[in-house]
Chains A and B, each alone.
Chain A
Amino acid sequence: MSELVNESVKEIRRDLTYLAHWRTWEYVFWIVAFASIFVLPGHYLILTEIAWLALFALSLDLLLGYAGVISLGHAAYFGFGAYAAGLLAKHGIIAEPVLALLAAGFAAMLLGFATSFLVMRGSDLTRLMVTLGISLVLRELANRYSNITGGFDGLQGVIINPLLGRFEFDIYGKVSYIYCLVVLFVMFLIARRIVHSPFGLSLRAIRNNPLRASAVGIPVNLRLIAIYTIAAFYAGVAGALSTQTTAFTSLDVFSFDRSADLLLVLIIGGTGYLYGGIIGAVLFKVLQDVISSFTPQYWQFWIGLILVLIVLAGRERMSRWFDMTRRTALVTLGLQRILQRGGKL
């Protein structure tokens, strides 16, 4: 009996490792991403924005796509990281950008941990209200203490030192872009490890059915607090990147629009497979570029329309292509099993 159990545990473990393997298209994806450094030299500014937006969306994907927590105020942690990085650089507390990036991330993470207890109370609507409330409070605080944050004028006089003490940020933004891309890649690798770990699997169980998850012994609230804290760290790093690459930040980072845009970014790309945020960020920026070129003042209208249309058309339909690749993986897995058992079903 115990041998049988051991056998199936082994089998499950092998299956999960197989599903966590890097696929060919993933290698291609990242090769293309890094090739953009050489292929698109004239577009570093927008590429940089795409990179930190992608990281921000990755953060929301961890929360929404894997744990099923809806947030209307994810900009809170982005903004906190952005201001933390700006203040650290402005007052020369941590002059080296990479260290400052980590510090800003940890600052946002602490905030995320502290606020996660509020977010985890109550139902979906309560969560929406609390997340929105947190970002509004931070915005109001930043506005109130304008002697520190610069208020509506934004945080000015931020000077970013050379990266690792060697690489000066150039005016073409090449260093900025490579910096953002490398950070995105490293953070992506960590996220990928997280979601394929038993911890990540338990999150998916919670997302699919919290009641059932707690019935099989998953500490639902603790897991949600953990992922919320991690997601806040990611958002904080994304915010810090945005400050470091533009040497500026303003109250705008806390705005509702930013949280809502982020939802759109993730929805365009698809939730729950980590690449959604990155693909969504590319599409969103291109879209924003196109729309605001012919109607700069009212581009928000089109963003709204896209949201409405996506929902009416059905989000599931859009992410079906990803399900296809996943299904192929599962079928291959099944075939392998059958072959191992000597062709018997």
Chain B
Amino acid sequence: MTILTVLFDGIAAGMLLFVLASGLAVTLGLMNFVNLAHGAFAMAGGYICVVVVNRWGMPFLAALPVAFLFSAMIGALMERTLYCHLYGRSHLDQVLFTVGLVFMSITGVDYVMGSSQVFIDIPKYLQGQIEVFGLGMSRYRLLIILLCSLITVAVQLILTKTRFGSRLRASVDDTRVASGLGINVNTVFALTFAFGSGLAGLGGALGAEILGLDPTFPLKFLIYIMIVVTVGGTSSITGPFLASLLLGIGDVAGKYYVPKFGAFAIYAMMIVILIWRPHGLFSRAVSK
């Protein structure tokens, strides 16, 4: 394994983290809502992918949009029925509520799908490696990088070029002024929440292969998601993106070069960044 392979794997892991966490970054910036259950939506996407691919024999690539839609629908439903009651409540309430949801999702999935780790049947053409310029690259990771790059570009375009994106950015910058200008912040938020949950679901389906999927997924990756959001900040999408890449590469490199203490790489990065830039690497405002 050369340094390039480490970099490649790290970028794939980072891209995946970005897709998993970007929804949370936006909803947190928009409504200042601490949603610790974000990982549960990713898990939902992963498990629906397992069901449709392994049990119903749907092609893997066709199952990815299903995972997106499934998680987005759950997200929309939860937002309209439960989350909407908690905007403007204290952070403690939001933490308690979403931790409760995490526990329920973990045991619920355990009850329905069993507690052991599950694997998605990856098609043949995605297994193994291909050689590009003498560098062996895993096909699956290449797919992740390609798909996630596309998603990142799409999200960035939606945010900067569309009317909805302008509304969203306006709402993030100043919710009160935005609603005063006639933007229906609640609708914007509901849509964003659903979209972010969908992205998480897609990330969960894509990541099942390399991150591992079992009922404790929402807890296991909670710290990763939180680090991405706090380090990257919530004011733009580039912040979380760069933070995800940094974290992914750091994590893979740490586990490869110092296997004994690789698990500490992300925490070490977290601590260094906190001391260096307590309000995140890329934050514009001091705090919201």
Interface residue B222 (Cβ < 8 Å from any Cβ of A): yes
Interface-facing stretch out of A15-23, A158-166, A245-253, A307-315: A307-315
Report how far A62 CA is from B234 CA in the complex, Å.
Answer: 31
Q: Looking at chain B's contact residues, is the secondary structure mostly helix, strand, loop, or mixed?
A: helix
Interface residue B125 (Cβ < 8 Å from any Cβ of A): no
Interface residue A222 (Cβ < 8 Å from any Cβ of B): no
Task: Give the residue of A70, A132, A260, A311 whose beta carbon is less than 8 angstroms from that of B226.
Answer: A132
Interchain CB contact under 8 A, A126 and B230: yes
Given known A-B contacts A300-B107, A301-B108, A129 and B270 have beta carbons under 8 A apart: yes
> What string of 1s and 0s marks CB contacts (under 8 Å) between A120-135 and chain B?
0111111011101100
Given known A-B contacts A136-B267, A144-B260, A122 and B278 have beta carbons under 8 A apart: yes
**Min CB–CB distance A33 → chain B (angstroms):** 27
Task: Give the residue of A132, A264, A310 whose beta carbon is less than 8 angstroms from that of B222.
Answer: A132
Interchain CB contact under 8 A, B111 and A128: no
Identify which of residues 188-238 in chain B touch chain A, using a CB-to-CB cut-off of 8 Å: 219, 222-223, 226-227, 229-230
Given known A-B contacts A122-B278, A144-B260, A304-B101, A298 and B107 have beta carbons under 8 A apart: yes
Interchain CB contact under 8 A, B107 and A301: yes
Task: Give the residue of B86, B103, B223, B288 whose beta carbon is less than 8 angstroms from that of A307.
Answer: B103
B219 / chain A contacts, CB cutoff of 8 Å: 256
Q: Looking at chain A's contact residues, is the secondary structure mostly helix, strand, loop, or mixed?
A: helix
Interchain CB contact under 8 A, B278 and A121: yes
A153 / chain B contacts, CB cutoff of 8 Å: none
Interface residue B164 (Cβ < 8 Å from any Cβ of A): no
**Min CB–CB distance A161 → chain B (angstroms):** 36
Interchain CB contact under 8 A, B93 and A315: yes
Q: How many residues of A contact B (CB 8 A)?
A: 38
Report how far A312 CA is from B91 CA in the complex, Å.
Answer: 14
Interchain CB contact under 8 A, A133 and B97: no
Interface residue A64 (Cβ < 8 Å from any Cβ of B): yes
Total contacts A-B at CB 8 Å = 117
Return the chain A residue nearest B229 by Cβ: A125
Specify which of B93, B96, B270, B275 lies most central, judged by the most chain A CB atoms within 10 Å of its CB: B96
**Min CB–CB distance A306 → chain B (angstroms):** 7
Interface residue B82 (Cβ < 8 Å from any Cβ of A): yes
A312 / chain B contacts, CB cutoff of 8 Å: 82, 85, 97
A129 / chain B contacts, CB cutoff of 8 Å: 223, 226-227, 230, 270
Report how far A158 CA is from B206 CA in the complex, Å.
Answer: 46
**Min CB–CB distance A115 → chain B (angstroms):** 10
A64 / chain B contacts, CB cutoff of 8 Å: 92
Interface residue B159 (Cβ < 8 Å from any Cβ of A): no
> What string of 1s and 0s marks CB contacts (under 8 Å) between A100-133 and chain B?
0000000000000000001001111110111011
Identify which of residues 99-125 in chain B touch chain A, using a CB-to-CB cut-off of 8 Å: 99-104, 106-108, 110-111
Task: Give the residue of B36, B96, B267, B288 whose beta carbon is less than 8 angstroms from that of A310.
Answer: B96
Identify which of residues 229-279 in chain B touch chain A, using a CB-to-CB cut-off of 8 Å: 229-230, 260-261, 263-264, 267, 270-271, 274-275, 278-279
Task: Give the residue of B28, B104, B223 whose beta carbon is less than 8 angstroms from that of A133.
Answer: B223
Identify which of residues 77-100 in chain B touch chain A, using a CB-to-CB cut-off of 8 Å: 82, 85-86, 89, 91-93, 95-97, 99-100
Interchain CB contact under 8 A, B107 and A122: no
Task: Give the residue of A122, A306, A311 whose beta carbon is less than 8 angstroms from that of B93.
Answer: A311
Interchain CB contact under 8 A, B226 and A128: yes
**Min CB–CB distance B172 → chain A (angstroms):** 15
Interface residue A140 (Cβ < 8 Å from any Cβ of B): yes
Identify which of residues 249-280 in chain A touch chain B, using a CB-to-CB cut-off of 8 Å: 256, 260, 263-264, 267
B111 / chain A contacts, CB cutoff of 8 Å: 298, 301
Task: Give the residue of B103, B260, B263 whose beta carbon is less than 8 angstroms from that of A260.
Answer: B103
Interchain CB contact under 8 A, A304 and B95: no
Interface residues of A (CB under 8 A from B): 64, 70, 72, 118, 121-126, 128-130, 132-133, 136-137, 140, 144, 256, 260, 263-264, 267, 297-298, 300-301, 303-308, 310-312, 315
Q: A122-B278, A137-B267 are in contact. List 11 more A-B contacts (CB 8 A).
A: A118-B274, A122-B230, A123-B279, A126-B274, A144-B260, A301-B108, A304-B99, A304-B106, A308-B97, A308-B101, A315-B96
Query: Would you list the 8 A-B pairs with minimal beta carbon distance, nearest first?
Result: A307-B100, A304-B103, A301-B107, A121-B278, A304-B104, A308-B100, A311-B97, A129-B226
